[in-house]
């Protein structure tokens, strides 16, 4: 089985600063944990890369670009 996530899930999973920790982070982590326990492949929507590239904060943009690389991109 496979699951496709977008930046709305990626961003809570990969906060840049403690101030960026969102209320949805716990739920997003639960989803990822369930996927890993059940051998469900996690893919990112390629459109999410565009969301990250549009970030005007260069430091945050670089950190999220690096975090994005941890996941497979939908093919």
User: For 22-70, how does the pLDDT look when each residue is reduced to its tens digit (9 = 90+)?
Assistant: 888 888 899 999 999 999 999 988 888 888 999 999 999 999 899 888 8
DSSP assignment, residue 19? G
- pLDDT tens for 10-28 read 888 888 888 878 888 888 8
SS3 2: strand
Phi, psi of 44, deg, nearest 5: -100, 140
Domain count, the chain: 1
Give the residue numbers spanning the domain of 8: 2-73
């Amino acid at each position: 089985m496979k699951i496709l996530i977008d930046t709305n899930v990626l961003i809570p999973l990969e906060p840049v600063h403690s101030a960026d920790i969102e209320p949805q982070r716990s739920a997003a982590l639960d989803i990822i944990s369930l996927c890993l326990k059940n051998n469900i492949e996690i893919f990112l929507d390629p459109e999410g890369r565009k969301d990250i590239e549009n970030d005007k904060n260069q430091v945050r943009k670089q950190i999220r670009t690096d975090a994005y690389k941890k996941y497979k991109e939908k093919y």
